């Protein structure tokens, strides 16, 4: 067992959490705070799984941790309604009990940010996990974030921790285009990159980081079944041979979701 897996295994558990707040912050985007003991050990870039109460949906739904309030033992989850499971979550009310599993995944290597200019690049629902990463970062932070339109969720939250550059697909705010267009337009440079978002964006960032010789870490998004690495349902190709499957694959849920950009083939 790797050190990372051993550490995660010691912290991972299923428990009952209490909904402390829920609100819709953009069309179809919900902001959910839950009270849970898991907040004490949660890290930026990790995720939890929520079990729907409707048993016909079977599998838990993985949601990235957006923010951690360790003093009040709360975790913030910002998610998009995409199906039956997340539609159920959007109806949860304050005081309601829910079943969760966490903390899952490895998180961002915050220790590498000390004294560096860290660039947080994210798109769509990949934006939420960057908030806690920025809060924990030990240096200068710049965000480059991509939205579909003018519904700029979490914008004011990000402004508390760094400078924010925006790209929108429809051109309604900031740069008309994607995050790479915004980076080029604003001539943004950095020592380190943390990123989360759709695969085409991550591919472009991996190439950019390689060309500019910038250390980069990518949080991969993928549909998951078990969420703990047992089913091999969420894998990506990697340079190294996975000790679990003995092929050039890695399990996003157990060995990620954050990877060194040079180690994964996307």
**pLDDT, tens digit, for every residue of 56-98?**
887 889 999 999 999 999 999 999 999 999 999 999 999 999 9
Q: Which of 80, 104, 128 is the last residue of a domain?
A: 104
Residue 139: exposure state from Cβ atoms within 10 A (0-12, 13-18, ≥19): middle
Contact of 196 with 213, CB cutoff 8 Å: no
pTM of the complete model: 0.86
Structure tokens at 56: 């016909």
DSSP lists the bridge partners of residue 63 as 48
Contact of 142 with 50, CB cutoff 8 Å: no
Asked if 116 and 62 sit in the same domain, the reply is no
Confidence of residue 242 (pLDDT cuts 50, 70, 90): low
Asked if 10 and 55 sit in the same domain, the reply is yes
Residue 231: Cβ within 10 Å count: 14
264 vs 244: which has the higher pLDDT = 264
Asked if 41 and 95 sit in the same domain, the reply is yes
Asked if 7 and 90 sit in the same domain, the reply is yes
Asked if 87 and 52 sit in the same domain, the reply is yes
Q: Cα separation of 104 and 136, whole Å?
A: 18
Q: Cα separation of 59 and 7, whole Å?
A: 25
Q: Which of 79, 104, 129 is the last residue of a domain?
A: 104
Residue 133: exposure state from Cβ atoms within 10 A (0-12, 13-18, ≥19): buried
Question: 3-class SS at 247?
Answer: coil
The predicted model gives 216-233 an average pLDDT of 60
Confidence of residue 257 (pLDDT cuts 50, 70, 90): confident
Confidence of residue 256 (pLDDT cuts 50, 70, 90): low
For residue 262, the enclosing domain spans 222-266
Structure tokens at 4: 């990372």
Q: Cα separation of 162 and 170, whole Å?
A: 24
Asked if 58 and 152 sit in the same domain, the reply is no
DSSP lists the bridge partners of residue 22 as 32
Contact of 23 with 30, CB cutoff 8 Å: yes
- Number of domains, the chain: 3
């Amino acid at each position: 067992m790797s050190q990372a897996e051993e550490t995660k295994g010691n912290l991972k558990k299923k428990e009952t959490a209490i909904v402390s707040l829920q609100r819709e912050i953009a069309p179809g985007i919900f902001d959910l705070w839950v009270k849970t003991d898991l907040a004490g050990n949660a890290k930026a870039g990790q995720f939890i799984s929520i079990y729907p109460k409707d048993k016909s949906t079977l599998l838990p739904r993985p949601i990235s941790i957006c923010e951690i309030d360790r003093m009040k033992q709360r975790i913030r989850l910002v998610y998009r309604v995409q199906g039956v499971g997340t539609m159920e979550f959007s109806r949860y009310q304050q005081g309601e009990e829910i079943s969760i599993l966490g903390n899952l995944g490895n998180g961002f290597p915050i220790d590498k940010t000390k004294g560096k200019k860290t660039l947080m690049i994210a798109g769509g629902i990949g934006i939420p996990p960057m908030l806690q990463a920025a809060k924990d970062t030990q240096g200068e932070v710049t965000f480059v974030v991509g939205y579909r339109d003018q519904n700029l969720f979490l914008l004011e939250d990000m402004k508390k921790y760094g400078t924010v550059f925006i790209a929108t697909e429809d051109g309604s705010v900031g740069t008309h285009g994607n995050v790479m267009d915004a980076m080029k337009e604003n001539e943004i440079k950095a020592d380190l990159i943390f990123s989360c978002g759709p695969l085409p964006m991550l591919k472009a960032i991996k190439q950019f980081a390689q060309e500019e010789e910038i250390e980069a870490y990518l949080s991969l998004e993928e549909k998951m079944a078990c969420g703990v690495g047992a089913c091999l349902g969420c894998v990506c190709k990697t340079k190294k041979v996975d000790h679990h499957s003995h092929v050039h694959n890695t399990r996003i849920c157990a060995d990620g979701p954050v990877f060194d950009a040079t180690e994964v083939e996307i």
